[in-house]
Amino acid sequence: MKAVICAIREGVHIHTPGVGKWEICQCGQTGAKWEDPQAGRLIVACRSDRGAVRVLGLNNQYLLPAVTTAGHWEEHRQLHDAATDAPGYVFDKSRAGCWAVVFRVGSTGDTRWATEAEYMECWP
């Protein structure tokens, strides 16, 4: 799962991308949509300060079982351990080592900034 963190105005807020349409954050400065939701490819548009925009990546291998079954702290630790055994992903022990990661747009192969045409689609 991915969400966009915007810290341009009004503090920090998080919004999720739209499927087939742009979702704009509460301050109106960032937009996001899935390029391919099945592959987890995300497009982000920004009106002003790209440096204040990040992606929040959440490893579904942790998130889904934690929501449906985990209850005791030991179960959460086991899920965390399994979710950070993720070679090739930012969650892996060799990288962030955590099931939740905040990173820059474009620093992973499945996130990118909008092209000029996409930007104009987001804010016509």
Residue 45, pLDDT score:
97
pLDDT of residue 69: 82
Look at residue 122 in the predicted model and tell me its pLDDT: 95
Residue type, 5: I
pLDDT at 10 over 80: no
Q: Which pLDDT tens digit goes with each residue over 35-71?
A: 999 999 999 999 999 999 999 999 999 999 998 886 7
The full set of domain ranges for the chain reads 1-55+102-124, 60-98
Average confidence (pLDDT) over 79-93? 95
Mean residue pLDDT of the chain comes to 94
The answer to whether 22 and 9 are in contact (CB under 8 A) is no
pLDDT at 70 (0 to 100): 67
DSSP state letters, the chain: -EEEEE-SSSS-EEEPPBSSS-EE-TTSSEEEEEEETTTTEEEEEESS-GGGEEEEEE-HHHHHHHHHT--SHHHHHHHHHHHT--TTSTTSTTTT-SSEEEE-TTSSTTEEEPPHHHHHHH--
% of the chain exceeding 70 in pLDDT: 99
Q: Region 95-115: what's the mean pLDDT? A: 97
Q: Residues with Cβ < 8 Å from 72, sequence gap 6 or more?
A: none
CB 90 within 8 A of CB 57: yes
Query: Does the structure show a pLDDT above 90 at 11?
Result: no
Confidence bin at 8 (pLDDT 50/70/90): very high
